[in-house]
Structure 1
Amino acid sequence: MEPTLFQSFFLIFTGAAIVASLALYTRQPLLVAYILLGMLLGPFGFAFITNVEVISEISRVGIIFLLFLLGLDMQPKALFAVLKQATHIGLISSAIFAGAGYAVGWLFGFSHLENLIIGMAMMFSSTIIGIKLLPTTVLHHKHTGDLMVGLLLLQDFLAIICLMVLLSGDLGRVDLPTLGKTFAALPLVALAAWAFVKWILLRLIQTFDRFHEYIFLVAIGWCMGLAELCEYLGLSAEIGAFIAGITLATSPISQYIAISLKPLRDFFLIIFFFAIGARFDLSLLPEVAFAALVMAAIVLALKPVTYRLLLRHHSEQNRLSWDIGFRLGQISEFSLLIAFVALNAGLIGARASTLIEATAIITFLVSSYIVIFNYPNPIAVSDKLRRD
């Protein structure tokens, strides 16, 4: 019998509290605990929760809030400066990672189209893990945070392009008119959002700023409203949420909104990592286990080295280059979404999809361990490295 939504939440959060306690006692990262809990309770484990699609849809709200808060922390002028600095590094590194993914897929006998999509999935690093493990002080005040955010945002734009290409035709053919309209809509949406914030939203906030509940409600409504508009226009809800955040970034109330929404973001991100574990089909694992280990090893080794070389060429310090390389040394939640879209469109088989998912989980786990035990982060097991 399928549990109700309340019962599902009980299993997720009570289970997460238990495994989180065990993880902290044994000095393990919490992200690992949430993913393993999903594997145990999901349809391919003990099957306590079988309707993973509903859980996954709910968890997407966490990503939307994460992008909204990321926008709130970025000043528009700083954003353009960072994107200008990071563009060529992001494009070159993405091409290298895509080629490596294609080569590994070819080595293990996948089809040409599957290899292209595997390569596509290898291009990106996790926005959630990258930002979640980055101390707030670094994000706000250090060059490391600026450069990482620029690279992740550029990758998010590339990921959205890839998703639009996959969704533009039954066999992956690119619908250029639709694609062109979508990209033309981006600056128009950003301009309209800026005007709405300047002439309407900020005036409402200034008039009723003594009502904290109202500020909280307006912030969520603005985030969700622009996210839904961008989803309707084909830009993705995540891009809409980021635009919503960055248009409010210059407001004096932006940091109050950010602090108010962080607990809500964390609530949904726990569900997100649970859903990653719950969606993983353990029955197909033996077929792709060796390929996934090879792919994960290549990702974990290639990404830090590539970023180190590109950033050093860009005159960045050696320590900073390795720091960013290891923080971005995994594939992305967008990779999981690409695998899901491609599988539903019949562009790849279940084996290729499972390969991408297994590689994502392995790289999520290992890269999290590397950062947590070696670099400053908010959930480090060492007091010396813990930075909130």
Structure 2
Amino acid sequence: MDVSITFSFFLIFTGAAVFASLALATRQPLIIAYIALGAFIGPYGLSLVTDTKLLADIGHIGIIFLLFLLGLDMQPQALWSTLRKSTVVAVASSAIFLAMGFSVVKLFGFSTIDALIVGAAMMFSSTIIGIKLLPTTVLHHRHIGELMIGMLLLQDLLAIIVLMILFSASSGDGSMGMDLALSMLGLPLLVAVALFVVRYVLLPLIARFDRFHEYIFLLALGWCLGMAEAAKAVGLSEEIGAFIAGITIATSPISQYIAVNLKPLRDFFLILFFFAVGARFDLSMLQQVWLPALVLATLVLVVKPTTYRWLLKGVSEKRSLAWDLGFRLGQASEFSLLIAYVAIGAALISEEASLLIQATTIITLLASSYIVVLNYPTPIAISDRLRRD
């Protein structure tokens, strides 16, 4: 049944309100409600909303705004010092998670290519879960927030490399090395251009017209999305471009006003993103991969926190912080889903391997949300003792 985008939005947000009410009444995380709604009324449920690709693309804007808002509250000096420490942890942990995923998938009889791509998909943690479930004051003003952002940004870069390899393998033109080199060169160039534009264009405009709030809002939106597109044009991700857009105007006195006004817009798009995650998963095919998915998801939920705790302790972080950060990053990522979609679209992996990545990712997103919300301070905690924002 084809329905208009307006009616789709009506179903999604009315349904989200109902499911969120049930989730709060039964003390469940709200993210679970949005994913469950997608599975319920999506193409593999009641088929009330079928154009999930469009919704996923729209929902991706929520991730872009999320990274932009993070940049607005980061100081460049603090980020640089954190990145130096995060690099060791991010690279070492990614290698461990790749080996873990590869080994499990091979044990279940999948091909070597399937195992490599599934292992690569397990390297990353969810930016949305990690950041959305961390209290705002902790995220922006404490060491754990800086460390988490540094690690997630490095994983973002690794994810871009993996996706570029997949795109190159699917095209077969042998230009992967050149594309990768150009992208890595594009990063400092993008930062330099952004700093120039902010200093000589944006800040003078903000200083002159800061009393026109609507203008500031539009300027912020244009800058965020413009930098996202610029990053995509040089082979990087929209998320990296949005983060650069945010951090380059973080020193502006108007940055906190922009952050406060963009938060509702971010949440609007993130609801669509999580709905699309649930809607794109074919529950009827789960029986084909339920056992390897369950084994791999369990290992992810156990091995990731333990690995992060061990590595962070090795770089002189406190044990309590290491466990806290480990559990907050103890899941697969929205990048894992993207890898699954790209790889199956390019016929690089089997349908079962793609479904395995999707099933493992959704299981870990759900389970990790429960673990964090029920045990650590979050803005959406059911317990008053743990609710922070």
TM-score by length of 2: 0.98
Q: What SS does the aligned partner of 1:168 have? A: helix
Corresponding position of 1:94? 94
Kept after mapping to 1: 8 A contact 2:27/2:382: yes
Kept after mapping to 2: 8 A contact 1:171/1:347: no
Corresponding position of 2:179? 178
Corresponding position of 2:342? 341
Corresponding position of 1:19? 19
1:367 aligns with 2:368: yes
1:253 aligns with 2:227: no
Corresponding position of 1:318? 319
Q: Distance in 1 between matches of 2:143 and 2:176?
A: 39
Cα RMSD (Å) of the superposition?
1.0
Q: What SS does the aligned partner of 2:224 have? A: helix
Q: Distance in 2 between matches of 1:59 and 1:144?
A: 27
Kept after mapping to 1: 8 A contact 2:153/2:240: no
Deviation at 1:6, TM superposition (A): 0.2
Q: What SS does the aligned partner of 1:170 have? A: helix
Q: Distance in 2 between matches of 1:236 and 1:310?
A: 27
Q: Distance in 1 between matches of 2:55 and 2:350?
A: 23
1:227 aligns with 2:220: no
Q: Distance in 2 between matches of 1:264 and 1:225?
A: 17
1:282 aligns with 2:309: no
Q: Distance in 2 between matches of 1:107 and 1:161?
A: 26
Q: What SS does the aligned partner of 2:170 have? A: coil
Q: Distance in 1 between matches of 2:70 and 2:353?
A: 32
Q: Distance in 1 between matches of 2:26 and 2:180?
A: 49
Q: Distance in 2 between matches of 1:109 and 1:12?
A: 39
Q: Deviations over 1:141-169 (max 9, x none)?
A: 21111111111111111111111111123
Count of equivalent residues: 388
1:42 aligns with 2:42: yes
Letter in 1 for 2:95: A
Kept after mapping to 1: 8 A contact 2:85/2:315: no
Letter in 1 for 2:269: F
Q: Which runs of 4+ in 1 moved over 6 A?
A: none
* Identical residues among aligned pairs (%): 62
Q: Deviations over 1:217-273 (max 9, x none)?
A: 000000111111211221121111111111111111111111110000000000000
The 5 A counterparts of 1:44-193 are 44-170=44-170, 175-193=176-194
Deviation at 1:171, TM superposition (A): 6.3
Deviation at 1:283, TM superposition (A): 2.1
Q: Deviations over 1:159-189 (max 9, x none)?
A: 1111111112326766211221121111111
Kept after mapping to 2: 8 A contact 1:61/1:268: yes
| Change beyond 3 A, Cα 1:174–1:298 | farther
Q: Distance in 2 between matches of 1:43 and 1:143?
A: 43
Letter in 2 for 1:295: L
Gaps of 5+ in 2: none
Q: Distance in 2 between matches of 1:98 and 1:169?
A: 19
Q: Deviations over 1:66-85 (max 9, x none)?
A: 11111111111111111001
Q: Distance in 1 between matches of 2:308 and 2:52?
A: 35
1:240 aligns with 2:241: yes
Corresponding position of 1:213? 214
Letter in 1 for 2:292: A
Q: Distance in 2 between matches of 1:307 and 1:193?
A: 33
Corresponding position of 1:295? 296
TM-score by length of 1: 0.98
Letter in 2 for 1:58: I
Q: Distance in 1 between matches of 2:260 and 2:147?
A: 23
Kept after mapping to 1: 8 A contact 2:228/2:239: yes
Q: What SS does the aligned partner of 1:321 have? A: helix
Q: Distance in 2 between matches of 1:13 and 1:278?
A: 14
Q: Distance in 1 between matches of 2:231 and 2:80?
A: 21
Kept after mapping to 2: 8 A contact 1:165/1:174: no
Gaps of 5+ in 1: none
